[in-house]
Structures are given as C-alpha cells and as structure tokens.
C-alpha cells in the first residue's frame, strides 16, 4: 500500500489539516478550479482568499491561483471552524503511560472531529491540553455516551490496539439506567440485524435477517420503578445497546433517538443519555499483560434522580 505523505502543515490547536487527493482523471486547468468544484459548500471567493494567504499547500509549497492541476497529488489546508458551544464537562484521566491514555469522556463530547464538532472533541482537547500531538483513538464512543475511551500515545502502535477492538478481543461492560419491567426475564441475550444507512441519523433493526449484533443484558439492581442494567455487547454495531434496550421495552433514560427520534439542540446539556462505558479489559497486544480499566463516572439518574429529572 502507498504510504500517505506527511502533512506539510502543522496541527492547529491539536487539529490536523484536511488532506485532499486530486483525482487521477479530470479536465481542470488549475488546482483552484478543482477545489471550487470539489468544495461546493465553500464560496469561490473564500477559496481565492485562502490561496492568496498561502493557506492551501502542496508538497512543494503554497498553491497559487494559477497552479496547474496535477493528477494524484495532494493538497492540505485547515478548514474554517464551525461555531461550537463549549461542552461544560471535564475529561477525566483514568490511566496514562508511554503507550496508552484512557479517559472518562463526559456526555455530549464527541470522541473525534466530525461535522459540527471539531474543537469540542476529546481528541483535539487531549492533544492540546496534554501536549500529545500524535495521540490517536483506539476506538470511538458516541457523543452522548459517557465513559471509557482509550487512546494510543505512540502512532506506530495504533494498528495493534485498533485491531484488538476490531477482532472483538476487548471485554466491554456498560451500565444503563432504564425503567424496570417486572415481566422482563433477565438475564437475556438480544440478537438482531442492525442497519445504519449513511446520512440517516438513526439505525434500524431488520426482522427475519441473520443477526449481526448481540448483547447480554442483566439487571444489576432495582430501585422502585427504575433499574440499573449491566450490558455486555459482543458486537459493536452503531447504537446497538440503545436499540436492544428499546426493543426489550425498556429504553435507556434520556435516549432522544429510540424508540422515538426527538430533536435536541446542541447547547442543551440536560438529561443526558444514561449510558456509561464502565469497563475495558484485554490482554495488551504489546506487553502481553492483562489490562482492566473501570470508569469513575456515575449515572445521575441513578445516584441523583431528582437532579436528573429536573434537568
């Protein structure tokens, strides 16, 4: 495989520059012509300004307005940042060594830059705050889910740890708060076929199709009409735990997606989804030693139900 070239632009506030590979075929006379067509959401005047300010560069230096188009070459630039509402919760450090960083990600904070969330993401904040510019995630956690996320400090080890997650060699336990149903027989194993279409915000379960997801659901504790559940996913489909709990008739408290999609403003930090990535355990692929990390966070609907209900 061809190795990606090193970006000629440095990080900005912990954020890598965007990289575009110019197509092998095309009739554009200049790089500028291609960028205007390639980036329809960016006004041509804005592209021209970035070119004048030497903010778009190739391996040989800044791209000019008349730089000829060269197939299979690369250009880099820093995107204009969206206006973001600061997430008013801290990231907790659970473990740090020369190879790994394990943190407690709060609710409402995305793991990596995507869409409207760029600076207000765990990766960018940790790179900047801890002075770790080469930090990379070993896996991801939904923005609205709190709990353990593991990052790799040395990029040359990224493949080993990401492969471990891909091959399901990591034991994961989640904690969820939901309504208690005395008629629900637990523990139980939920299996279904989950489909997530690109551009559609929610996932769906397709009946009468071979399962591609599996979750062990247990009731850990009950307080009146509310239960604290232990969830052990054996696969990692998008929104798997939320779909499976909803399918059992006990949707997770604070779930704005399932069973009914409810739009929630990005600056509304009330009633977070009561789902916590509680445990990560595995045999370290580098050292061969057993590792186990446990979140220090608590779910407010269980420990402070009045505060959670009041928002």
CA distance linking residue 305 with residue 47, whole number of Å: 51
CA distance linking residue 297 with residue 304, whole number of Å: 13
Residue 259 preceded by cis peptide, ω within 30: yes
Q: Residue 300, class by beta-carbon neighbours within 10 Å (0-12 exposed, 13-18 middle, 19+ buried)?
A: buried
User: Going by C-beta distance under 8 Å and a sequence separation of 6 or more, which residues neighbour residue 52?
Assistant: 65
CA 124 to chain centre: 12
CA nearest 106: which of 123, 92, 118?
Answer: 92
CA atoms within 13 A on the CB side of 73: 18
Catalytically annotated residue among 129, 142, 181, 267:
142
Q: Are 9 and 133 in contact (CB under 8 A)?
A: no
CA distance linking residue 213 with residue 302, whole number of Å: 27
Q: Are 24 and 72 in contact (CB under 8 A)?
A: yes
Residue 187 preceded by cis peptide, ω within 30: yes
CA distance linking residue 94 with residue 105, whole number of Å: 10
CA distance linking residue 44 with residue 171, whole number of Å: 49
CA distance linking residue 263 with residue 115, whole number of Å: 17
Residue matched to tokens 């990231």:
91
Q: Is 142 a catalytic residue?
A: yes
CA distance linking residue 242 with residue 111, whole number of Å: 18
Give the ranges where 100-171 is alpha helix by DSSP (H): 122-130, 158-166
Which residues are the active-site residues? 142
């Amino acid at each position: 495989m061809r190795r990606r070239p090193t970006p000629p632009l440095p990080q900005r506030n912990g954020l890598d520059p965007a990289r575009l590979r110019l197509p092998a075929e095309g009739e554009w006379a200049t790089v500028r012509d291609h960028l205007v067509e390639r980036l329809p959401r960016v006004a041509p005047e804005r592209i021209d300004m970035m070119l004048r300010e030497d903010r778009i560069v190739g391996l040989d230096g800044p791209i000019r307005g008349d730089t000829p188009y060269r197939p299979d070459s690369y250009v880099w630039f820093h995107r204009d940042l969206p206006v973001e509402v600061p997430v008013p919760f801290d990231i907790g450090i659970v473990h740090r060594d020369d190879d790994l960083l394990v943190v407690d990600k709060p609710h409402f904070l995305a793991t990596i830059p995507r869409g409207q969330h760029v600076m207000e993401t765990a990766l960018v904040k940790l790179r900047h705050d801890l002075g770790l510019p080469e930090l990379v995630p070993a896996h991801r956690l939904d923005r609205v889910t709190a709990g353990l996320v593991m990052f790799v400090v040395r990029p040359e080890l990224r493949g080993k740890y990401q492969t471990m997650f891909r091959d399901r060699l990591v034991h994961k336990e989640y904690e969820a708060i939901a309504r208690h149903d005395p008629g629900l027989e637990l523990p139980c194993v939920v299996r279904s076929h989950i489909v997530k279409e690109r551009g559609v915000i929610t996932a769906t379960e397709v009946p009468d199709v071979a399962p591609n997801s599996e979750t062990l659901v247990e009731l850990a504790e009950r307080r009146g009409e509310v239960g604290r559940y232990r969830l052990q996913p054996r696969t990692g489909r998008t929104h798997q735990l939320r779909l499976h709990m909803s399918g059992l008739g006990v949707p997770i408290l604070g779930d704005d997606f399932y069973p009914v999609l409810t739009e929630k403003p990005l600056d509304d930090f009330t009633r977070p989804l009561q789902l916590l990535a509680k445990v990560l355990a595995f045999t370290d692929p580098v050292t061969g030693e057993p590792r186990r990390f446990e979140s220090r966070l608590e779910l407010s609907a269980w420990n402070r139900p009045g505060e959670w209900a009041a928002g």
